[in-house]
């Protein structure tokens, strides 16, 4: 049974990794929301979501991609505590897509929850 347990673990790990990867963009955009946030603060907020356990380094490349794709914009501001900081804020495009992504997620979650009692 040990073998089967390992297989189950591996299956669960793969599945949850894929799920987290898919959720990460939504979580990042939600974390920023209507405010502007420093990259490190975004990572810190995501760190608080236990089920989202991720390598912190995965967040930055996604921020970079979302910026390139026009969902985020950055501003660099001087900081009294150290080097200049890069702040992220949603663009118009980002603000437009976020409610759609949240709707989609809610529908998926509601649908998946509804299936639980179907058997």
Partner 1 sequence: MVELSENARKGLDGYLRQVRSYLGWSKSLDRDEIEQNITEHIERELEGAPEPVSSSALEGVLARLGSPRQWVPPEALSWWGKLIVKLPADSQDWRLAYVSFGLLLFGFIFLSFGPIWLVLFPAAFITARAALAAAGSPEELGAKRWLLYPSLLLVCLPLASALLGGVGLIAGIIGAELSELHWIRRESNMGVVAFVITSATLITSLWWMVMGLVFCKWPGCVRHVFRPFADGFTRRRALALAGAGVLLLALTGGFIALYMGGAFGPLMS
Q: Which is nearer to partner 1, 24 or 101 (CB)?
A: 24
- Evaluate the CA torsion angle 9, 12, 15, 19 in order and state its sign: negative
Tell me: does residue 50 bind partner 1 (CB under 8 A): no
By CB under 8 A, is residue 86 in contact with partner 1?
Answer: yes
Q: Which residues of 95-111 are buried (b: 16+ CB within 10 A; e: fewer)?
A: eebbeeeeeeeeeeeee
| Residue choice 27, 62, 66, 98 for contact with partner 1 (CB under 8 A) | 62
Stretch that binds partner 1, among 5-13, 25-33, 49-57, 104-112 (CB under 8 A): 49-57
Instruction: List the interface residues with partner 1, window 26-45 (CB under 8 A).
Output: 39-40, 43
Nearer to partner 1, 16 or 58 (CB): 58
Pull the structure tokens for residue 60. Answer: 């930055």
* Strands laid side by side in the 72-79 sheet: 36-38, 82-90, 72-79
Which residues are registered as beta bridge partners of 1? none
The reply on whether position 80 binds partner 1 by CB under 8 A is no
d(CA 82, CA 114): 50
Residues of this chain that bind partner 1 (CB under 8 A): 39-40, 43, 54-58, 60-65, 68, 81-83, 85-86
């Amino acid at each position: 049974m040990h073998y089967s347990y390992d297989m189950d673990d591996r299956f669960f790990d793969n599945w949850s990794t894929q799920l987290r990867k898919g959720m990460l963009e939504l979580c990042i955009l939600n974390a920023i929301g209507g405010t502007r946030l420093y990259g490190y603060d975004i990572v810190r907020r995501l760190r608080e979501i236990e089920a989202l356990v991720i390598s912190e380094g995965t967040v930055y490349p996604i921020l970079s991609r979302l910026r390139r794709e026009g969902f985020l914009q950055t501003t660099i501001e001087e900081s009294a505590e150290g080097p200049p900081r890069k702040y992220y804020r949603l663009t118009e495009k980002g603000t437009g897509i976020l409610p759609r992504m949240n709707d989609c997620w809610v529908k998926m979650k509601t649908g998946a929850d509804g299936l639980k009692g179907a058997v």
